[in-house]
Homo-oligomer: A and B are copies of this chain.
Amino acid sequence: MGDSLLPVAVDAMGGDHAPAMMIEGARLAAERFGVEVILVGRPDELGDVGSIPVREASEVVAMDAEPASAVRRMKDSSIVRAAELVRDGQASALLSAGNTGAAMAASLLRLGRIKGVSRPAIAVPFPVLNSTPTTLLDCGANADCQPEWLVQFAQLGTAYARRRFGLPAPRVGILTIGEEAGKGNTMVKAACELLEEGSWADGCGADYIGNVEGRDVMMGVADVIVCDGFTGNIVLKSLEGLFDIFRPTVEETVAKASTEAEEAGNTGVLATMNSHIDPMFEYFSPYNTGAAMLLGTKGVSVISHGSSSPETISNAIRTASGFAADGLVGELAAAVQGPS
């Protein structure tokens, strides 16, 4: 598809260490993957970006700004201009590591919704040991949900998991508080009934497996798990929080034990430990999955963690470009609209 030749529009101004992290990520994406980028932001703050093209934007939506009003008010902000590049056919996809709500609002307002989609949702892949990730959605776009929206999330998630992870018939579950049917809150129980009915799966090729619980999110029992955006965001943040406690605690514990072992006459223990422990944590790190995606807009909109490394940003740029080249938006539209 022609889209694959277009660059990815990168909001250069959003992220904990922007613009440096975004510029370096763009440079790495070109170097390693041959994916071109347009950086969007304030030229004076970007400084020397080499041969990477820049689309000027004079405003920046702050990380803590109220998203919807900021996006409406700041028409020359980097996130809004980046979304417009996608809308106007000058970029294949949008990437932001800034204010998540603003990225969502700009994508919704400038790209619009896919026909038939009630509400776009944020899809986040969670690492699963020795298997493909499990995609959880909605992770925060819609704090209050109607049961019908969860059926659409199931369709969107199925198309996404098939394309991103090559799964012919993704297993889809609904997040609730018991394994048996009839468990959950009022909204979830109504969504369960709609999902049980089954015809929604025809057009998208999902394999519906019913209820899953919180402990299943990283266990690999489902490929796609649907929930409302309030619950999904809290699960995401809870797991990030536990990871952020475990990683340094394990590292310090191992360092202490290694010192003890080396004081007892051993050598090179810490180096050997770290050579095994570091890759394990990288595998599970929520900061390395690289890309949450807003599913349901007429264009690819990828959202990275504010604390992403340049490597993670470069991976997200490649992922965003790949989604556009693969025609993911068309597949999402087909999944929601059903067989024709």
Contact = CB atoms under 8 A, between A and B. Distances in A.
Contacts of A235: 214, 234-235, 238
A257 B276 contact: yes
A237 B261 contact: no
A160 B180 CA distance: 32
A141 to B, nearest CB: 11
A243 B245 contact: no
How many copies of this chain does the complex contain? 2
Interface string A221-254: 0000000111101111111111111100110011
Given A185-B228, A214-B235, A257 B242 contact: no
A144 B185 contact: yes
Contacts of A240: 214-215
A64 interface: yes
B234 A214 contact: yes
Nearest to A229: B177
Given A266-B269, A269-B266, A177 B280 contact: no
Given A213-B237, A215-B241, A254 B230 contact: no
A260 interface: yes
A224 B249 CA distance: 23
A264 interface: yes
Contact of A261 (B239, B243, B265, B272): B272
Interface in A191-238: 213-219, 228-231, 233-238
Nearest to A238: B214
A47 interface: no
Contact of A257 (B230, B245, B266, B277): B277
17 contacts: A64-B179, A66-B180, A129-B245, A143-B185, A143-B186, A214-B233, A214-B234, A215-B238, A217-B241, A218-B241, A218-B245, A234-B234, A239-B239, A254-B273, A260-B276, A265-B267, A273-B273
A-B pairs, 5 with minimum CB distance = A214-B237, A215-B241, A214-B238, A266-B266, A257-B276
